[in-house]
Structure 1
Amino acid sequence: MRRGALRLGLPLVGSSPIFAPLFAIYRQRSPGIEVHLTEYGSDQLGKVLGAGEIDFAGPLLPLSDEFAFQPVRRGSIVALLPRGHPLAAAALVSMLDLKDTPFILFDSGVALHRMVLDACKRSGFGPDVVARSSQTNFMVELVDAGLGMTFLPRMIVAQHKAKGLRYDARRRCGAAKVAYGIDRSQSIHFPTSLPGLK
């Protein structure tokens, strides 16, 4: 396709460091294609892709078997704790270790929200959720202010330089691995009915 439009749906969380460089390359190679971007929570991305409202989606996790997908990046989720938290210096924490810590979660339409709640349930507790947001910067600031802790993709945490936040890029957080089950894989999803797809 030399001219036209590409409708792409991205998650509210973690898409800019992955897709911004890809857009620049794509634009250089296909200057006649206009890219229309929309942002949704991961759950909504599957719905709009299935309805044909977008051509491709870039959620944090595979959506369902009805879509083909191509992994583009692997990463992990880390627990972000406020300064002075008793577990901030721990090399490894379990989800159960965090049961008495207030949680700051993403809004319910973001896949990470559901994943954290599922991990808490598997660990035998319901978290004390003190705030919900779709804005990672705000969530980081809430942690920095001491309101509670949150879970974020490692690549997002590494971008933040908020003073006083405990984050050691060399360590893997056990709580984060439990929350996500295993390292996540960011993928591009597309309907299996696209022409030329085998």
Structure 2
Amino acid sequence: MSRSGGLEVTKLVEKGELDVAFVVLPTKSNEIEESLIYEGHFVHVPENHKLKNANEIRLEQLKDEEWILYDLTFALRQIVLDSCRQEGFVPNIVYSTAQWDLLMSLVHEGLGVALVPNPLIKMFGKSISTKEISSQYICLENRRCCKKRTLQN
């Protein structure tokens, strides 16, 4: 078992060092076959955040926020950066990590906002404040990927 970002684990699957990986968006490899697991990401905001009562948050509403992002091994980091640029801003990144639980804890402690996939919301339950994210530029799908010869449905 390996705990790294999608960019790194995709390479490990290609090399045959991992049997399966879970990644955001389609991979760009002819060696890998993938299947959609779920769609949907949410903004995780501190409990005392000014937007905590909103039903949905537009990405542009977060332009003045401090962000906690995934490190460079995560494709989701680049997706967030690109989406923010297309919305007309560069996020103020105050912390980067490869650890989901640390990311969630830092937001919970009020140190910034983060974009998180739906399953994390379910894992952390009601102890966090999350809102649906809205942006015409974010297309977030999480996929299971394997070498073509090993994919089992």
8 Å contact from structure 1 (residues 57, 188) kept in 2: yes
In the other structure, the counterpart of 2:134 is 174
Equivalences for residues 104-143 of structure 1 within 5 A:
104-143=68-107
| Letter in structure 2 aligned against 1:188 | C
1:72 offset after TM fit, Å? 4.8
Pick closer, same or farther for the CA change 1:107–1:62 going to 2, 3 Å. Answer: same
Q: What TM-score results when the alignment is normalised by the length of structure 2?
A: 0.84
Quick one: distance in 2 between partners of 1:38 and 1:83?
31
Change (3 A) 1:137 1:65: closer
The amino acid that maps onto 2:134 is G
**Alpha-carbon shift at residue 112 of structure 1 (Å):** 1.2
Aligned to 1:23: none
- 2:144 maps to which residue? 187
Higher RCO, Cα 8 Å, sep 6+: 2
Name the CA distance, whole Å, in 2 between partners of 1:75 and 1:111: 15
**Do residues 97 (structure 1) and 61 (structure 2) align?**
yes
The structure whose residues are more often strand, as a share, is: 2
CA distance in 1, matches of 2:55, 2:100: 24
Gaps of 5+ in 2: none
Deviations 1:70-124 (A, max 9, x none): 3151131100011221111111221110001100001111111111111111111
User: Which piece of structure 1 moves more, 45-54 or 106-115?
Assistant: 45-54
Q: CA offsets, 1:14-45, max 9 Å, x none? A: xxxxxxxxxxxxxxxxxxxxxxx333321122
Comparing 132-141 and 95-104, the one that deviates more: 132-141
Residue ranges of structure 1 left out of the alignment (5+ in a row): 1-36
1:48: Cα distance to partner?
Answer: 2.7
Deviation of residue 52 (structure 1)?
3.9
Indicate the percent of aligned positions where both proteins have the same amino acid: 23
Aligned residue pair count = 150
